[in-house]
Chains A and B, each alone.
Chain A
Amino acid sequence: MINKKVFRMFSNRFYSYSLYYVGNCLRCQREYHGNRSFLAKRYRRPKKKFLYAPVETLHAVKRREKEIDRYTDKYGVRSDKFIPKHKLPAPRWHWDYDLTQDSTAFIKSVAGQITAEYNQKLNSPFKEDEWPIQSWTPGSYRCGAIGIKLGVHPLWFKDGTYANTTLLQITDCHVIKNFSKEEFNNKKAAVLVGAKNASPFYRTEKYHEFCLEAGVPIKAKCFRFYLSENAALRPGTQLNAMHFRTGQFVDCTAMSIGYGMAGVVQRWHMAGGPAGRNKHWQRRVGSIGSHIRGWVQKGKKMPGQLGGTYETIRGLKVLRVNTRYNVIYVKGRIPGHINQFVKIADSSLPHYRPKTEEQAKKLIGPFPCYIPESTNEDLPEEIYDDSVVPLHAPSITFS
């Protein structure tokens, strides 16, 4: 009879010599290499699988406290407070946990009908007097739009050079709510704009109320734009690609691609140590300070989160507008992956802000937004900037 304690102490080693080869990890039966002492502590007491519903005694409850799965960092730090959102346990029940299949199907179909009612409300003429259309004055800002990043492809200019342009599609972009100067902060007015229709489930009630008042279906993404009170828009107005003009300059904000917890070599392009020779210093920071300060300075470059933040690129030129698919071609590149939401606004750079009305017609689109009734019905499908060569045109010839 082997003493159980002794057997458990040496069981890891015994396993490697046994006929039936079993991995080092008692729990998942896998080989592990590296920090053996840490991993051994983690898996030395595997969780018991109860075949029947257990009746826990007091002692058992106390013992189970040690076996509960607590969230562990990849560095082995366990905490109950700072657990990232995606690692929290998922909500226990769906909204239809106590409904039958027929009733869920009914509710889903009704949710589709609600959007139709919303669209009917949009065309109600009662509220037009409250939102008069005002003309541009120096020092007035207008609203922007929300687009989806489709991709990148080149466009050529008339002198033979070329530039890579990003395509941004503006789908189902509606104004949701208007905030006046006093409601917001006492300096500027603001407007909430939403894009891309989404499901009405899993949203807050407050957001549902906003959309109901505006007569607008639930949107997947909202952005806030600063406005001057000149440019207040009626909630429910639709924004198109014609909101922007070719030759205009634009600021784009989008969430950059997230790389998670990045090391110092990737995040700050540090050199690190020489490869191969030294195992202890290969991709590390090196020195963090000296005796001059005595402490680590604020802003010291260290590993941490890389990406997943909102970044703005200012001063991008709009080169081409497609009115059928509501696509804008913007010169340059934008942060974010494909099918990412992008906030497009008139450029805030001082060189591109209009000071006279003539400049306002070149540097800014129609103020406060594009109104389809006043212009002709037959819109050209593709509108090119003057410096851009349309691809159906014959080849360039210099004279």
Chain B
Amino acid sequence: MNMSLLRVIRRLQSSFVAPQRPTLISTDAEKPNVEGREDANLFSFEYIPPQVQPEWHRNKLKYRLERMDCLRRRQAIDIPEFYPGSILAVTVADNYAPGKSMRFAGRCLYKDGFGLGCKFVLRNVIDNEGVEKMYHLFAPYIQKVELLRLEKWIDTDLRFLRDAADQSICEIDPNMQAESPLPKTEELPVYKGKIRLREIAMWEFLYHKQWPRPYNAYLEEHFIEEELIEREKIHWQTQSHLKYDICKHYDVTKIKAEIMDEMKDNRHRVDVADKKITADA
């Protein structure tokens, strides 16, 4: 072989450095929660202010004060994260009950409201009798909120369960043991089952006229397919243009980021206000 060639080869061999293998660092492990299941002290759905038109009807100081009060209540009591469809048990202080407190377990039908006025409704079937009870989330007469089963349904308004054929959905054993919920690093699977409704000649609540139609209710049995199609057509003709109305669009992503920044600040302020720490700290 040619000597110059050999020298070139040797130079290349000596100067050649094998590239380092790229190390794959997964960032998911650093995040303590999945988007949508944040820490309640930082963000919760009841912290989003309602959409208000015109814009000068909104007062940001009032929203801030209300969120500070919600944070105070969350520090006093542990309110778990739940969605409509999950099973809860609530102990409430009652002056006229034996033991001065009452425990009621049930399935959450809906959760609605902003800030301190956030209400949720639990339904249970006791001795073939349906019972519903409404509670304020942040009321001080609630002593304990236990999460028995965490479920998330596609519909947020489950009032059609009142007309369900199989009432065992809402029949909840008061001595039911709590099932440990999924950790917050994993996404909750959404319940997509359809529930049959009981046979009735005249519906009090017009399910087929309601739009959007509930996903978790099996309406095809009771209403003719043509009727449902006609209702969808009427909605398309009369009200489908509303989704293109820009004024009614409520983009929550920016508000969510602002709220999360604000709540970190609020924690400090609440502690100062309640004299747990001095203002200098």
Which residue numbers of A lie inside 8 Å of B, CB to CB? 150-151, 153-154, 156, 159-160, 162, 167, 169, 322, 324-325, 327, 337-339, 380-382, 389-399
Contacts and interface: CB of A to CB of B under 8 A. Distances in A.
Contacts of B142: 395
Contacts of B75: 392
B263 to A, nearest CB: 15
Contact of A150 (B59, B100, B274): B59
B93 A160 contact: yes
A324 B115 contact: no
B59 A151 contact: yes
A398 B94 contact: yes
B65 interface: yes
Contacts of B100: 397-399
B6 interface: no
Contacts of A397: 93, 100-101, 143
Contacts of B73: 391-392
A395 B141 contact: yes
Interface string B30-71: 000000000000000000000000001111011001100100
B196 interface: no
Contacts of A337: 57
A389 B140 contact: yes
A320 B112 CA distance: 26
A66 B66 CA distance: 59
B229 interface: no
B117 A154 contact: yes
Contact of B65 (A322, A392, A395): A322
B159 interface: no
A391 B58 contact: no
Given A150-B59, A150-B62, A398-B100, A156 B141 contact: yes
Given A324-B273, A391-B138, A398 B57 contact: no
A167 B273 CA distance: 18
Nearest to A164: B117
Contact of B58 (A162, A338, A382): A338
Given A162-B139, A382-B274, A397-B101, 7 more contacts: A150-B61, A160-B94, A322-B65, A327-B65, A393-B140, A397-B93, A398-B94
Interface string B114-125: 011100000000
B115 to A, nearest CB: 6
Contacts of A156: 139-141
A395 B115 CA distance: 18
B143 A339 contact: no
Nearest to A391: B72
Nearest to A327: B65
B270 interface: yes
Given A398-B93, A398-B100, A153 B76 contact: no
Contacts of A169: 61
Interface string B161-205: 000000000000000000000000000000000000000000000
Q: How large, as a class, is the contact surface on chain B?
A: 20 to 34
Nearest to A158: B140
B126 interface: no
Nearest to B100: A398
B76 A391 contact: yes
Nearest to A397: B93
Contact of A339 (B57, B94, B139, B275): B57
A381 B138 contact: no
B95 A393 contact: no
Interface centre among A162, A324, A392 (most CB of B within 10 A): A392
Contacts of B270: 392
Contacts of A327: 61, 65
B77 interface: yes
Nearest to B140: A389
B140 A339 contact: no
Contacts of A395: 76-77, 93, 140-143
Interface string B99-114: 0110000000000000
Nearest to B97: A398
Given A392-B75, A392-B274, A396-B140, A153 B66 contact: yes
B136 interface: yes
Contacts of A159: 95
Contacts of B59: 150-151, 338-339
Nearest to A151: B62
Interface centre among A162, A322, A391, A396 (most CB of B within 10 A): A391
B76 A167 contact: no
B204 to A, nearest CB: 22
B72 A162 contact: no
B258 to A, nearest CB: 18
6 contacts: A324-B273, A325-B65, A339-B57, A339-B59, A396-B141, A398-B100
